[in-house]
Amino acid sequence: MQSCLTRRKFLTHTATGIGGLALANLLRGDGLLAGPAAQPHHQPQAKRCIYIYLEGGPSQMDLYDPKPTLNKLDGQALPESMLKNMRFAFLAKESARVMGSPRTFKRHGQCGMELSDLIPHIGSIADDICLVRSMHTDQFNHVPGQLLMNTGSAIAGRPSVGSWLGYGLGSESKNLPEFVVLVAAGRGIPGGSASWSSGFLPSKYSGVLFRNEGAPVLNVDNPPGITDEMQHRSIQGVTELNALRNEAIGDPEIDSRIAAYELAYRMQMAAPEVMDLQGESQETLDLYGVDRNEPKIEGGNRGGIGLFGTFARNCLMARRLIERGVRVVKLFHASWDHHSRINVELPHNCALVDQPIAALIKDLKQRGLLEDTLVVCGSEFGRTALGENRPGFRVVTGRDHHPNAFSLWLAGGGIKGGQVIGETDDIAWNVTKDPVHVHDLHATILHLFGFDHTKLTYRFRGRDFRLTDVAGEVVPKFFG
Amino acid sequence: MAAANRKTHAATRLRLVFACAIAAFASAMAGAAEPVDFGREILPILSNNCYHCHGPDEQERKAKLRLDTREGVLGTGKSGAIAVIPGRSTESELVLRITSPHEDEVMPPPEAKQKPSARQIELLKRWVDEGAPWGSHWAYQPSRRAAVPTTRSGGAAIRNPIDNFVVARLEREGLKPAPAADRRTLVRRLSFDLLGLPPDGEIVRAFLADERPDADQRLVESLLASPHFGERWSRHWLDSARYADSGGYLNDTARPFAYLYRDWVINAINRDMPFDQFTVEQLAGDLLPNATLDQKTATGFHRNTLKNDEAGADREEDRCKVAVDRTATTGAVWLGLTVGCAECHTHKYDQITHREFYQLYAFFNNTSEKDLPAPQPTELDAYHRALKIWAVQGSEIEAPLTARLPTLLDTKLPAWERAAKLPVARWTVVQPEAVTFVTEDDETVLTAAKDHSIESTTGTLRSRFIVAAKLKQKAVTAFRVEALTAPGKPVGRSKAGDFALSEFSVLAKTGDGAQRKIELTAARADFSANSGAASESIDGMPNTGWSIAPEVNQPHVIVFELKAAEDFSEETTVYFELQHQAVGLMKRFRLAATSSASPVEASTLADELLAIFDTPPDRRSRGQQLALTRHFAGLHDDEAKQQIATIVAHEAKKPVHPKTVAATLVAEERKTHIHVRGDFMQKGDEVQPGILAALHAFTPRGGKADRLDLARWIVDPANPLTARVTVNRIWQSLFGRGLVATVEDFGTRGESPSHPELLDYLATEFVRLGWSRKAIIRLIVNSATYRQSAALRPELMDRDPFNTLLARQNRNRLEAEVIRDSFLAASGLLNASIGGPSIYPPLPAYVTAVGRDTSWPATTGANQYRRGLYIHLRRNIPYPMLLTFDAPDSTAACFQRERSNTPLQALTLLNDPVFFECSQTLGRKLSAGPGPVDAQLQRGFELCLGRAPTAAEMKSLQSLHRDQLALNHGDAGAALGAVARVIMNLDEFITRD
């Protein structure tokens, strides 16, 4: 990560040369991964965050935002006034027609939240979630949209939400990174690691990619032929010789290095335990659907085949990680980009994620973790009411990217469940009530963690940057 | 570490933080006798505290008060009170407001959460009382070459004028410089700083044995002359050039030839190209008179921008973003100014207006990109060698036919020609205006070749080509598609070399926007597969199509007849759509139209041959006659058929010309408008290319200013910034910290230089020495200041925690690439070859699988042990080890790397397969070397750290070795490998002392 050490950083972190980053860490006593760089501005309601990111732009009108009018208008053109000034990725707007939805919606929970037949399990947690039907963004292409959603800017190089939280909060765990990323790749995440990068913040705030099988983190396993005993003796040797050197040099940076090796060793010991699901009851495994059978799908699925188990394990891993003090877990699944074959691939993707996501909420709740764990489930934008008729598409079977209105939900961590925020017009084209911009979402997330989004800043290139750029309003309705 | 121990350290450091504030205060007091320096001391206070609302930006200005001009400061705001009355601080509104105890009066207002310190308020008062002298920001003033100060101490502490400046300052503070580092440390420091490699044993031994008085300088000279010098210093530059081997965004398209620019930098630095020329070639090499390919390659600097080629992205938006990045990066790299802050509005703190940003932007708006063929000498050599051999073989293979054709011409041609049934239709090749390739997820723009054929670049099925063209032809009766191939090569992209054209359709769009489908009634092909009739390509069913198996190694033709003849005027654009659903894509195809009467034939007879037929025999050249003979011989003469088959087989083996291209800039004029609030769609006033008024004069060569004028303005010796900014970065690379700590910001919000006279001395010396990078580095590393010991001085920890006064050298953790190089070098695995395509050290698949491009063609053999600098830098999947050690991710220019210290680094050093292999290799080498064990341990330690172990260290090594030997059941190599692994994990191994 590029980093330009400015005066502020010299004063807040102290700098290299005198042992720099070690200071904050050692002052904190144990959490060596990252010390907080800021103090919360008010009492936080959330302490940890699980962010489920369904890459590609799931269709809101097929999942969260029922629009019976769509079927009535099926095959008709939209008035020109609605299309003017709209930019689409592929859709040819002159000839596009409204596409109806075959989905049926049902009321769920005591709150009576209307949700699609594709997500019955999420329906079962309706009373815990706050569904926002009035999200909107500025970006209509994947990478800029994902960057805006994940880093608050459509231009690469800014810190991700998880990195900002780490920067503000520091680590809770003594032996795991503070920000972990789990990926069920599907066809791959367009922006790659930019979505969990620490941008211009120090690289220690970067998300660490975990796997849910084998060695969970790169280099966490001993090299071939090295037993734990040998490894331990080697680390002891490193510590001893570093300490001897430090007697002559007296550089606090060496103390930091010694401590980092201790923590690395602890991480090596702890990581396999996180991965090991032996201790989980069959009931829990079944709740997440770890061993579900995956239905066959004709013609393949861009969201991936053979990922039912992977995604379920990732959700379970997310709970295990935050239980062990990890601050932020980001779960990715790609792709929900249904330009075509939406009625085949969307049901398959929903079957893939519906049960494990609902299970995660239930599991957190029954363990008393939900109240201070914020869970967010969303994507970079929604999809068009118009069927996609890009040049060359003979049959219209999907929807294009739509930035004006989309849905996303949150739970736990101070969120008031069982409510729907915002409304859209009859075809989910524009927001008609309580618009929530991506910056507003970020402002609210930071608020839940005790931060005033205008004050959590970092000086880079002569400017005080913040997650919400120059915009963002906290949405009090989220927490009631 | 024990808890108690930790507490002690914590306490020490708490003291440090306090000390830091005290030190700052003390140093301010030390200068109390001298008058306040406006540019260095006052302007930053005003800028940081006042300019957000009372600065250059009109739109943000409050109370009509501006404090960034002398008139403003001496004037009144809305309240009517005079901000500053020179000489009378107690009556000046500025001072009164800043010191006001009332919440509704005090400035900055409480909600700004910004307050000048007591010391700063004191300075402001003194400045007013001293008459409030005005001046410009220090960095905008020309460098002044102050007299080299005299110092009381002399001797070893003063080796060149740098030391006079540093020691004079230390003496003012009552301090002494640190003693010189010992020679072992010095050679190691120099080797890391100049080459980015640990010194090899031979160099150390020779240096330690060299007793000549100028041994040190000789060492410096030999390092400066090493070709590895260019590698080391190119990496610093590549950070600011945001160099990468891919384009970022969704596709993260590989840039396989980006290395040409990287190698240009290495060579330029090795040749010590003067920095002014280095600058001009990178910003405007293409505009130099008679520009060479090398100079054009240099413009690759600004081709390193990210590029959004996601399907459906707005191309103009991305082009503007790229130009903005080039503008901001140029400002940051050479001027050290945060020019980018003025993209959306006038700079809040520095003198850069919104309009000026777009004047600079105009230089880059008037720029396009061009990929120039740039085959490398070695590639060309290999190609030409192969071609020569191939041609020689070819003429041998051709000889029998060449001999036979003239006889056939005389004896057979007339009869053959008489009997020949020639097709009636004559074709006009369609010249595509735009070609797009659309897949289910993506869209790519293709370019037609010179012969107007179109080549597919991928084999993605369920896709279509859309070819737009203006036919300007009357009474068109049919279209033709030629599926082309090189002699003997497959015509389709399926595994079997097959293709299937699922659907072919044509759309015409007239000038008024009306569009209609051109109806096609019949399709005929020269050949069709059993299940793949020509008509299936116009049957409206995408799951059927025209196919040509098994005749895959030759060209084919299909023609489509129109329902009625059509006139296509100049205003009409015709869109051809070729859809491929299954089997495979055509590799290369070409479109044509005819106005001949139907029915038209699907003939594979080349248009060129037809033209010969149409020429009366007596007007044909001998060559044309031979060409016809060859055509017929291929059909009717058995012997010639055989010979032609052999020739075709040989043709298929023709060596391919290297495709290497250099990414360069070229001029292309456009209108430039201010983008209102930075939005490219909201165009404000038109502006012309121009520079920043706050800086020196601009004298373009004439006419409209271009990038070359800009580049020359940047390196004009009158420019107060470029030389200062550059020597400051060089200083940072040699000390770990710049004389101006904010290396990226020389504006009013940046830090003032710790040694302003020294900075100016170096800046003027840089220009005087002909902008020679090596000369300025030589000057610095030969100074006593550079050569001081880096040992911490506990007595100074309180006074000067950041070592601003330079009372010692700094201990710096090595950069990511240098850590890798050190492991490889110490183990002996290092492949020290320079330049060429980037490498892919092996990585686990799950790491590379998160992006769209999951291919990671692992480099094998000796190439995988090349220096870190050469690791393929894919923006979406940066090489984890480099990132873990704070290498930049190349999204934006980086001027200073973090030097973090994390457990992930420990895991990497311990367990990364490359590093593990290095330690094991070293272990085996030690074990194979002469004994006894103690000597082996000692040798390993010295090899890695450049010094002998102390007695206590030796004891620790022995005990470690004993235990590891037992754990490894007496395996001597493994035990020494374990020891080597420990040594290579030491803080000292990855630190430059």
- Are A463 and B950 inside 8 Å of each other by CB? no
Q: Which of A17, A199, A261 sits opposite B906 (nearest CB)?
A: A261
Residue B369 touches partner A, C-beta closer than 8 Å: no
Residue A27 pLDDT greater than 60, yes or no: no
Q: Is B901's Cβ below 8 Å from some Cβ in A?
A: yes
With contacts defined as CB-CB under 8 Å, which chain A residues touch B876? Answer: 191-194
**Closest Cα to residue B629, out of B437, B438, B416?**
B416
Minimum-distance CB partner of A264 among B745, B892, B903: B903
* Closest chain B residue to A35, measured at CA: B902
Contact B443 A90 (CB under 8 A): yes
Percent of chain A at pLDDT above 70? 90
B527 and B580 share a domain?
A: yes
pLDDT tens readout for residues A464-477: 889 998 899 999 99
- Residue with the bigger pLDDT between A21 and A332: it is A332
Q: Model confidence over A47-78: pLDDT tens digits? A: 999 999 999 999 999 999 999 999 999 988 88
Closest-CA distance of chain A to residue B780, Å: 20
Q: Answer yes or no: do B444 and B529 share one domain.
A: yes
Q: Which residues of A touch B441 (CB under 8 A)?
A: 187, 302, 337, 339
Q: Rounded to whole angstroms, how far apart are CA atoms B672 and B356?
A: 12
Distance CA B920, CA B980 (A): 7
Say if the Cβ atoms of B13 and A157 lie within 8 Å: no
From B776's Cα to the closest Cα of chain A, the distance in A is 24
Are B891 and A337 within 8 A, CB to CB? Answer: no
Of the candidates B441, B745, B886, the beta carbon closest to that of A1 is on: B886
CA distance A195 to B889: 13
Structural domain contains residue B519: yes
CA-based nearest distance B305→chain A, Å? 11
- Chain B residue whose CA is closest to A174: B903
Got the DSSP string for B840-904?
Answer: -----HHHHTTSS--------GGGGGB-GGGB---TTS--HHHHHTT---SSS--SSB-----HH
CB of B508 closer than 8 Å to CB of B568? yes
The two structure tokens encoding residue B615: 């020429």
In a domain, B7, yes or no: yes
The one-letter code for the residue type at B509 is: K
Mean pLDDT of B893-922: 92
How many structural domains comprise chain B? 5
Would you call B314 and A87 a contact, using CB atoms and an 8 Å cutoff? Answer: yes
How many angstroms separate the CA of residue A388 from the nearest CA in chain B?
11
Q: Which of A185-194, A446-455, B200-209, B416-425 has the lowest mean pLDDT?
A: A185-194
Please give the residue of chain B at the shortest CA–CA distance from A396: B440
Whether the CB of B916 is below 8 Å from some CB of chain A: the reply is yes
Of B8, B539, B982, which to mutate for an interface test with A (greatest number of A Cβ within 10 Å)? B982
CATH topology of domain A7-222+306-479: Alkaline Phosphatase, subunit A (3.40.720)
B4 pLDDT more than 70:
no
Q: Which of B17, B810, B880 is nearest residue A14 as measured by Cβ atoms?
A: B17
Last residue of a domain, one of B556, B587, B604: B604
Task: State residue A20's pLDDT score.
Answer: 31
- How far apart CA B178 and CA B650 sit, in angstroms, is 74
Contact B173/A at CB under 8 A: no
Final residue before a domain boundary, out of B578, B604, B630: B604
Q: How far apart are CA A422 and CA B719, in angstroms?
A: 56
Assess B966–A contact: CB distance below 8 Å, yes or no.
no
Distance CA A400, CA A405 (A): 13
Q: Do B312 and A89 touch (CB under 8 A)?
A: yes
User: Are the Cβ atoms of B12 and A229 closer than 8 angstroms?
Assistant: no
Question: Taking all residues of chain B, what is their mean pLDDT, rounded to a whole number?
Answer: 90
Cβ(B250)–Cβ(A190) under 8 Å? yes
Q: What pLDDT score was predicted for residue B749?
A: 81
Separation of alpha carbons B446 and B442, rounded Å: 13
- pLDDT number for residue B609: 92
Distance from CA of B587 to the nearest CA of A (A): 19
Strands B812-813 and B473-484: unpaired
Can you tell me the distance from the alpha carbon of B931 to that of B961, in angstroms, rounded to the nearest whole number? 14
- A266, two tokens: 């602890």
Q: Tell whether B976 and B830 lie within a shared domain.
A: yes
Interface of B with A in 526-555 (CB under 8 A): 542
Q: Is B741 near chain A, with CB under 8 Å? A: yes
Answer whether residue B8 is part of any domain. yes
pLDDT digits (tens, 9 = 90+) for B837-863: 999 998 888 787 777 777 889 999 999
Q: Please write the tens of the pLDDT for every residue from B463-476.
A: 899 999 999 999 99
* Strand stretches in B114-227, DSSP E: none
Helix extents (H) in A97-154:
120-123, 142-151
Please tell me whether residue A460 adopts helix, strand or coil conformation. Answer: strand
Chain A residue numbers with beta carbons less than 8 Å from the beta carbon of B545 are none
**Of A51-65, A177-191, A426-440, which gets the smallest average pLDDT?**
A177-191
Inside any domain, residue B672:
no
End of a domain among B604, B637, B662?
B604
The domain locations on chain A are 7-222+306-479
Residue A202 has pLDDT above 90, yes or no: no
A349 has pLDDT over 60: yes
Same domain, yes or no, for B191 and B98? no
For residues B336 and B744, the answer to whether their CB atoms sit within 8 Å is yes
Chain A closest CA to B468's CA: distance in Å?
A: 13
Measure in Å the smallest separation between the Cα of B523 and chain A Cα atoms.
21
pLDDT value at residue A2 = 32
Interchain pair A4, B911: CB under 8 A = no
Helix H or strand E segment including A129: strand A129-136
Pairwise CB contact (< 8 Å): A391 & B438 = yes
Nearest C-alpha neighbor of B755 from the set B138, B232, B127: B138
Share of chain B above pLDDT 70, in %: 96
Based on the fold, state whether residues B531 and B552 are members of the same structural domain: yes
Residue B508 has pLDDT above 60, yes or no: yes
Q: Answer whether residue B285 shows pLDDT above 70.
A: yes
Q: Name the minimum distance, in Å, from the CA of B878 to any CA of chain A.
A: 8
CB contact under 8 A, A219 and B1: no
> Residue A15 is nearest to which of B749, B802, B913, comparing CB atoms?
B802
Say if CB A162 and CB A151 are below 8 A apart.
no
Chain B residues whose CB is inside 8 A of the A463 CB are 338, 341
pLDDT in the model for residue A21: 34
Decide if B542 contacts B503 (C-beta within 8 A): yes
Nearest-CA distance B907 → chain A (Å): 6
Q: B133-168, pLDDT tens digit by residue?
A: 888 889 999 999 999 999 987 788 999 999 999 999
Tell the burial category of B317 from Cβ atoms under 10 Å away from its Cβ (0-12, 13-18, 19+): middle
Structure tokens belonging to residue A236: 């002891």
Taking CB atoms and an 8 Å cutoff, what residues of chain B touch A204?
900, 902, 904
- Give the pLDDT score at A459: 80
Which of A32, A204, A219 has the CB atom closest to B911's CB atom?
Answer: A219
- Residues of chain B found within 8 Å of residue A89, distances taken between Cβ atoms: 311-313
SS3 A118: coil
Smallest CA–CA separation between B340 and chain A, in Å?
Answer: 9
B534 with B429, same domain: the answer is yes
| pLDDT confidence bin for B642, thresholds 50/70/90 | very high
Whether B849 maps to a domain, the answer reads yes
**Contact across the interface for B891 and A267, Cβ inside 8 Å:** no
Residue B435 has pLDDT above 60, yes or no: yes
Residues B851 and B957 occupy one common structural domain = yes
E strands, B146-284, in order: none
Q: Determine the structural domain holding residue B18 and report its residue range.
A: 1-30
Distance from CA of A257 to the nearest CA of B (A): 6
The amino acid at residue A18 is: I
Q: What is the pLDDT of residue A390?
A: 67
Cα radius of gyration (chain B): 36
B876 has a chain A CB within 8 A of its CB: yes
Q: Is residue B752 part of a domain?
A: no
pLDDT digits (tens, 9 = 90+) for A291-306: 999 998 887 787 888 8
Residues 6+ apart with CB under 8 A from A5: A15, B741, B742, B896, B898
Q: Choosing among B852, B853, B983, which should be mutated to test the A contact, i.e. which has the most A CBs within 10 A?
A: B852
pTM over 0.90: no
**In this complex, which of B249, B443, B464 lies closest to A143 when CB atoms are compared?**
B249
Whether B743 contacts B897, CB under 8 Å:
no
The number of C-beta contacts closer than 8 angstroms across A and B is 341
| Nearest-by-Cβ selection for A16 from B736, B985, B986 | B736
B792: nearest CB among A225, A250, A260: A250
Q: How far apart are CA A324 and CA A273, in angstroms?
A: 10
Q: Do A4 and B878 touch (CB under 8 A)?
A: no
Exposed e or buried b per residue across B907-932, where buried means at least 16 C-beta atoms within 10 angstroms of its C-beta? bbbbbbebbbbbbbbbbbbbbeeeee
Indicate whether B24 belongs to any domain: yes
Residue A306 CB-half CA count within 13 A: 1
**Distance to chain A for B836, nearest Cα, Å:** 25
Residues of A in contact with B899 (CB under 8 A): 16, 20
B902 lies in the same domain as B863: yes
Check: CB of residue B763 under 8 Å from CB of residue B143: yes
For residues B588 and B454, the answer to whether their CB atoms sit within 8 Å is yes
The whole-angstrom separation of Cα A315 and Cα A212 is 10
Two tokens at B499?
Answer: 């293709």
The answer to ipTM > 0.85 is no
Crossing angle (nearest 10°) for helices B3-30 and B118-129: 10
Q: Are B727 and B773 in contact (CB under 8 A)?
A: no
Is there a single domain that holds both residue B54 and residue B193? no
Place of tokens 């300088």: B217
In a domain, B714, yes or no: no
Report pLDDT for B19.
40
Q: Quick check: A1 and B968 CB within 8 A?
A: no
